[in-house]
Amino acid sequence: MKFTKMHALGNDFIIINNIKRNFFFEKKIIQKLSNRYLGIGFDQLLLVELSSNKNIDFHYRIFNADGNEVEQCGNGARCLALYLRIKKLILKNEICVSTKNRLLYLKLLNNNIISVNMGIPLFNPKEIPFITNSIKNTYKLFFQNKYIYFNVVSLGNPHCVIQVKDVSNTAVSLIGTFFENYKLFPKKINVGFMQYLNVNNIKIRVFERGVGETKSCGSGACAAAAIGIKKNILLNKVFVHLPGGKITVFWKGNNNKLYMEGSASYVYDGKIIL
């Protein structure tokens, strides 16, 4: 099997051309491939497929390192755009792709910077999904003798955002594991930890469901920025600083679409015997 290794600010992927639908991946195969000691090593596996809609350039599927298929991946979308250009599968700069639950519009800019139209952020708990009796501005869960306050949002995949004083001194894995598997999140949850810097800048760390903490998370950056803008603590343009680098998020609020800009990087092509 031929594959391409790519990353977006340290969030790494393998991308496979499955246009001829030659490959079907069971969970255990993905888990083996994702292992950083015994396999290739990656956070997510991306499959490129043809779209049945003539107005959509490609369909792509996303699998986390644990083998579960998920709905969305912002960093993966940027890598996908660069992959399609490198492999000459498309020549235009503006690309429309479908995922499990929405359309994404990708635009190749200069210096391997890609803009992604992520759609409209969704805050209704049913759309996350998050089980609650009432819609609130902020929710809370009791963990280790104290309440943790959080917000929820979907960018095609579920996120909760916890505002903290200092992301470098936050128990990301401990709290992230608790939230990811909590019974009120029926499809599990990506957990973002946001540190406010000023009206245009935040730091975040993200614990991704089925993966653990990653160097970068595109949809997680969008989720944190959207929550901050909705709470009126951030302006419409936000620089999101992650361990792997910086993502820029633009959102005018309400029912406007949210845009993300960031880099993507090609690492190598390889092949492996399954």
Note the pLDDT tens digit of each residue in 199-225: 999 999 999 999 999 999 999 999 999
Q: Is the pLDDT score of 102 beyond 90?
A: no
132 plus 115 within the same structural domain = no
What SS3 string covers the chain?
CEEEEEEECCEEEEEEECCCCCCCCCHHHHHHHHCCCCCCCCCEEEEEECCCCCCCCEEEEEEECCCCEECCCHHHHHHHHHHHHHCCCCCCCEEEEECCCCEEEEEECCCCEEEEEEECCECCHHHCCCCCCCCCCCEEEEECCEEEEEEEEECCCEEEEEECCCHHHCCHHHHHHHHHCCCCCCCCCEEEEEEEEECCEEEEEEEECCCEEECCCHHHHHHHHHHHHHCCCCCCEEEEEECCEEEEEECCCCCCCEEEEEECEEEEEEECCC
Average pLDDT estimate for 146-162: 96
The total domain count for the chain is: 2
Domain co-membership, 11 together with 64:
yes
pLDDT digit string (tens) for 222-231? Answer: 999 999 999 9
Same domain for 112 and 139, yes or no, is no
Share the mean pLDDT of the chain: 95
Structural domain that includes position 76: 2-119+263-271
What's the pTM value of the predicted model, to 2 decimals? Answer: 0.93
Considering the domain architecture, whether residues 130 and 233 belong to the same structural domain is answered as yes
Q: What is the pLDDT of residue 22?
A: 83
The pLDDT of residue 190 is above 90: yes
Domain check: are 154 and 100 in the same one? no
Output the pLDDT for position 101.
85
Please compute the mean of the pLDDT values over residues 124-129 and round it to a whole number: 95
pLDDT (tens digit per residue) in 1-37? 999 999 999 999 999 999 988 888 899 999 999 999 9
High-pLDDT (> 70) share of the chain, %: 100
Asked if residue 59 and residue 13 are part of one domain, the reply reads: yes
Residues 145 and 105 in one domain: no
Same domain, 152 and 241: yes
Please tell me whether residues 165 and 82 are part of one structural domain: no
> 97: domain CATH number?
3.10.310.10
Whether residues 148 and 212 fall in one domain: yes
Residues 246 and 267 in one domain: no
**Active site positions, annotated:** 73, 217
* pLDDT band per the 50, 70, 90 thresholds, residue 155: very high
Residue 152 and residue 244 in one domain: yes
